[in-house]
Amino acid sequence: MTSHTLVHCTHARHADAILDIFNEAIVTSTALYDYEPRPQASMEAWFAAKEKGHFPVIGLEDEHGALAAVGSFGPFRAWPAYKYSVEHSVYVHKDHRGRGLGMQVLRGLTEAARPRNVHAMIGGIDARNAVSIALHERLGFRHVGTLPQVGFKFGRWLDLAFYQLLLDTPLAPVDG
């Protein structure tokens, strides 16, 4: 059994591996609703946005230091009243799926959310992605709605399901 270590990902160390995970998901699945693989340059802006928003990028490395899974969150919507809500994503390298790594990363994101005063974690999941849906349900996320036929990829319409976990933070939410 391979052991994995939870790490905070950096552009310098992990950008190439994260890009590989993203691009494999883009060309083979509906986990990302992109059509074309992302260019290398996109990772600089992606990491800059995470850093600017103080959003975590959490990964799992195997014993050789190779990235096996990654997750992060960012703003759910851009308006101020959504400041306690985030949208998260978790991706597992194709060679490491089915080993519980997605669960470890999602737990790590949940733990990272509390000290950031996140109240609602929201995952947008392709409605046919039974594995991701089961993962979210096992960790207490509940289905809060589905938007039918909002995406089109691989010659078919895609339904986007939303799963939400409400946290007990912040202790004293405020307007503004």
Domains of the chain by range and CATH? 4-166 (3.40.630.30)
pLDDT digits (tens, 9 = 90+) for 91-111: 999 999 999 999 999 999 999
Cα–Cα distances in angstroms (integers) from residue 32 to residues 13, 131, 152, in the given order: 23, 15, 11
Categorise residue 155: left if φ over 0, alpha if ψ from -120 to 50, beta otherwise. left
pLDDT digits (tens, 9 = 90+) for 16-56: 999 999 999 999 999 999 999 999 999 999 999 999 999 99
pLDDT digits (tens, 9 = 90+) for 113-156: 999 999 999 999 999 999 999 999 999 999 999 999 999 999 99
Rounded distance, CA 75 to CA 140, Å? 21
